[in-house]
Each structure stands twice: as C-alpha cells, then as structure tokens.
Amino acid sequence: MGGYYILIGAIALVSWLVSNQLKRKFAKYSKIQLRNGLSGREIAEKMLADNGIYDVEVISTPGKLTDHYNPKNKTVNLSEAVYNQRNAAAAAVAAHEVGHAVQHAQAYSALGMRSALVPIVSVTSGMSTWVVFGGLILGAAAGVGFGYWVAIAGLAMMGFATLFSFITLPVEYDASNRALAWLKNKNMLSQEEYKGSEDALKWAARTYLVAAIGSLAMLLYWGLQVFGGSD
C-alpha cells in the first residue's frame, strides 16, 4: 500500500501546483480591464448570437470557478465574478463556456460521448477504489475466485472514470479553441487582453490534463495489484 499512498501524494501535489497556478493566472488577468467595457454576461450573449444560438440562457451561479454549460436546460452558468466583471479572465471563461454551447448546437461528437458517460461515472466513480480493494481482500482471504471478479468489476468502474477524463480533454480544448477564435476574429480584445485570455485558458485546460493522467495512473496501479496478484 506504500506505493498507493506515494502515487496519491504525487497526483495531489501536481494537481495542487497546477490549480494554484491557475488561480494566480486568473487573479492576474482579472486586473486587465476590457477596453470594450463588456461584462462576462455580455460577452457570452454576443458569442451565442454570433453563432446563431438563441435558445440558450446566460445565468449567474454562486461560487468561484463554478462556471459551466448545462446541456439539459441549455444554460451557460457563469460564476458571479465572471458574470459581472469586465476583464480578460472573465472574457476567457465566458467565451469558453459558450464554446460548449456551440459544441452542443453543432452535435460535437466528443461532447455527446461525455454526456452519455455522466450517469455511469456519477454512480461508479466514488465506489470503484473500494470495490477493487474489497475484492483484493476477499481474494487474499479465500484465494482467486469471487474476490478476483469483484476486483475486476471495480477496475471496470475505474475504467469508465478514466475514459470520461480522457474524453473530457478534446471537449475542453475544443471549447477553448472556439472561444479564442471568436474573440480574435471578432476583434473583441486588444492584443494584451487576448494574450491574457489565451494564457488563462491554457492553464485551465492543464487541470483537466492532470486529472486525466492521474486517473490513468490509478487505473494502472490497481490493475497491477489485481492482475499481478492473480498469478
């Protein structure tokens, strides 16, 4: 189990470093006020209109970094700071979330795959490690048999979470690319503002990359415990 705790610690450390850097970047670019004076809400509404999307509502949601697009009720949910503020960070986040709305409107395949996995992952992700661990304990107590197959079931649950993490990568990167292309092509930002928005979105994407690598590392670790212990 020592290797498990080392792996958990390493993943947590890298995740913390990237998350911390993301917060610093957003704090930095929140100080760059937009010359056009548009708020995050206004940026989002304009991008929706420019893409011919009129059935999506832009609303404010409590908290920090709670921004998301909800395909079920077609809402772009912007955190209070992003919704109201008029800076490079707010523009980046607002345009990124609208990027997801554009994906939805255009039936972007990776977004559809991720949405299909949400119900499965929401049920299995929290229990997968415990199922694998329980299966290993049963296997150690009774030998290869029922416990082994319990552990395999846990690995399958973990596999769905890992698949979800990797499908999320093209979804997030594509939404950022759509956002940046629109901001640039419509001359929404000055050169300094655009560079800030671009850098902020790059660091946001790295949080998803770290999560995907961490999920794969956990799957491989437990896979080695299960299949290595069954020889």
Q: How many CB atoms lie within 10 A of CB 205?
A: 18
Taking the C-alpha atoms of residue 151 and residue 211, their distance in angstroms, rounded to an integer, is 23
Enzyme catalytic residues: 97
Q: What is the pLDDT along the chain (231 residues), one digit of tens a residue?
A: 677 778 889 899 999 999 999 999 999 999 999 999 999 999 999 999 999 999 999 999 999 889 999 999 999 999 999 999 999 999 999 999 999 999 999 999 999 999 999 999 999 988 988 899 888 888 766 665 778 889 999 999 999 999 999 999 999 999 999 999 999 999 999 999 999 999 999 999 999 999 999 999 999 999 998 888 554
Taking the C-alpha atoms of residue 183 and residue 223, their distance in angstroms, rounded to an integer, is 44
Residue (of 59, 1, 83, 38) closest to 190 by Cα position: 38
List Cβ<8 Å contacts ≥24 apart for 84-87: 84/39, 84/40, 84/41, 84/60, 85/30, 85/39, 85/40, 86/33, 86/34, 86/37, 86/38, 86/39, 86/40, 87/29, 87/30, 87/31, 87/32, 87/33, 87/34
Partners of 77 in the β-ladder: 59, 68
State the pLDDT at residue 144.
58
The pTM of this model reads: 0.88
| One-character DSSP codes across 37-86 | ---HHHHHHHHHHHTT--S-EEEEESSSS--EEETTTTEEEEEHHHHH--
DSSP state of 4: H
Taking the C-alpha atoms of residue 20 and residue 169, their distance in angstroms, rounded to an integer, is 20
State the pLDDT at residue 231.
46
pLDDT digits (tens, 9 = 90+) for 68-105: 999 999 999 999 999 999 999 999 999 999 999 999 99
CB 96 within 8 A of CB 90: no
